Amino acid sequence: MSQTKWPDYSWNAWDEGSQHYCVGGNVFPGYYAPPILDLRPVLEPLLETLQEYDGRRCQLEEHGGEIDDLAGITEVLTQKVTIKGWGRDQQVSLANQVALQQALFQASNYTVYLDIRQQENRMPLYYLCRTHHDYWGEYSLIVEDYHLSPRYPLLDERFAKFMHFGHEVYYLRLSPFRKAAAAILAPGHFASSRALDHLLYTAGRNVFQAAWHEDQRLAVVVANHFGLTHFRQAIELLYLCLSGELCDLRRAVNDQLLRFFGEVYPQPAIQAFLRQLPRLEGSIINDLPQQALKLYPRLSRAFSDFLEKEVAWGRQQARVPLYKIIYGNFSRLGFIVSELQEKLNLQEEKETLENESQAIIDDLLSLV
């Protein structure tokens, strides 16, 4: 296959030798699309506008202002921004969401997405990122962040919810790993964008598509706030064994992937699992999901026991099951985490759950 002559930007490239067009790592034989432009200069005017808007918004939200400041925000929201598309430049504004989204899609060949959320105080929040659609996977991936407004709602930082063909779907956020992944690829040097994309895509397609699932959000958010590291590792390892295509994964394991789970996204359980996977026989790989399926209820039960614990809570210090506190404050767990940590004496329960999680990880790793 000959080298592509398009800028070293992403997987989106037209390969002249094979007459294949590749969008985000997927190959479309014979399909031609014009070359992708380097997106940074294309997005620069929009990024400047977003930064200016967020600066003014944060000022107004935190320190207040004068009524003339509102005119300033109105101006930023309605001012025209030039986005260079394939055929022509487009003048769009933040206040015209449809035109803005279309211009971005056109300029990026449907890879850049601008997500907009409205706060309780009505002000918009923005998340501009580059995505990769994985046709065969359950989730698509976010591979590069361009702009994330302060206070943009990300309850679980592993997921973002975007509109896709009229319905909101979860995307896996691999973009936070981009900087650390660059250090693996080219220590001390500049790592090419395509190589970075490739590493994230490999990790995403082979590991995160299986290890992360939207149903884990409750447990993982709890694990993050209560510092339950083994519990989180056990969840992700179990899901990887249950939902992963382990034969594919076995072939994909290499030094980069192992370092990824040691340095970029430290996950000792998955790293240990990946280290042993290439040596496994097919029969053992076949048995793994069955064994993991037996361990899954064990972990669920341990988590249920943890949530059932009654604690003294609130102004009246009434006895309330922990699950009620967590479910009733799910959207503000970040704000009450210190109170949860300090006032609830949960050390014993946390240890029990962590020990059980570690036992499950050990059981699973002993099989491989």
Q: Is 355 in the site for another protein (CB under 8 A)?
A: no
Would you call 232 exposed, middle or buried from its count of C-beta atoms within 10 A (0-12, 13-18, 19+)? buried
DSSP code at position 206: I
Nearer to another protein, 35 or 124 (CB): 124
- SS3 of 143, please? strand
Computed on alpha carbons and rounded to an integer, the radius of gyration of the chain in Å comes to 23
Could you say which residues in the range 320-339 bind another protein, by CB under 8 A? 320, 324-325, 327-332, 335-336, 339
Q: How long is the chain?
A: 368
Binding residue count for another protein, defined by CB under 8 A: 97
Nearer to another protein, 72 or 262 (CB): 72
Least Å distance, CB 150 to another protein, is 11
Site string for another protein, 206-245 (x = CB under 8 A): ---xx--xxx-xx--------------------x--xxxx
Whether 212 and 158 have beta carbons less than 8 Å apart is answered as: yes
Among 122, 189, 279, 294, binds another protein (CB under 8 A): 122
Nearer to another protein, 25 or 39 (CB): 25
Q: Is 205 in the site for another protein (CB under 8 A)?
A: yes
For residue 4 the two structure tokens come to 């592509």
Closest by Cα among 156, 157, 163, 179 to 114 = 163
Among 51, 82, 192, 229, binds another protein (CB under 8 A): 192
Q: Looking at the DSSP assignment, which residues form a beta bridge with residue 21?
A: 14, 28
Site string for another protein, 148-187 (x = CB under 8 A): -----x-x-----x-xxxxxxxx-----------------
Least Å distance, CB 308 to another protein, is 14
Please enumerate in sequence order all residues whose Cβ is within 8 A of that of 129, keeping only pairs 6 or more positions apart, or say none.
Answer: 112, 113, 115, 142, 143, 144, 145, 146, 148, 160, 175
Could you say which residues in the range 34-93 bind another protein, by CB under 8 A? 60-67, 69-71, 73-74, 77-78
Among 25, 107, 111, 356, binds another protein (CB under 8 A): 25
Nearer to another protein, 64 or 187 (CB): 64
Whether 18 and 1 have beta carbons less than 8 Å apart is answered as: yes
Stretch that binds another protein, among 110-118, 257-265, 351-359, 360-368 (CB under 8 A): 110-118
Q: Report the relative pairing of strands 112-118 and 124-132 from DSSP bridges.
A: antiparallel
Q: Is 190 in the site for another protein (CB under 8 A)?
A: no
Among 19, 118, 254, 286, binds another protein (CB under 8 A): 118
Among 35, 85, 262, 289, binds another protein (CB under 8 A): 289
- SS3 of 363, please? helix
Closest by Cα among 215, 181, 182 to 300 = 215
Least Å distance, CB 93 to another protein, is 8
Could you say which residues in the range 243-272 bind another protein, by CB under 8 A? 243-245, 248, 251
Whether 223 and 229 have beta carbons less than 8 Å apart is answered as: yes
From CA 314, how far away is CA 117, in angstroms rounded? 31
Q: Report the relative pairing of strands 81-84 and 89-92 from DSSP bridges.
A: antiparallel
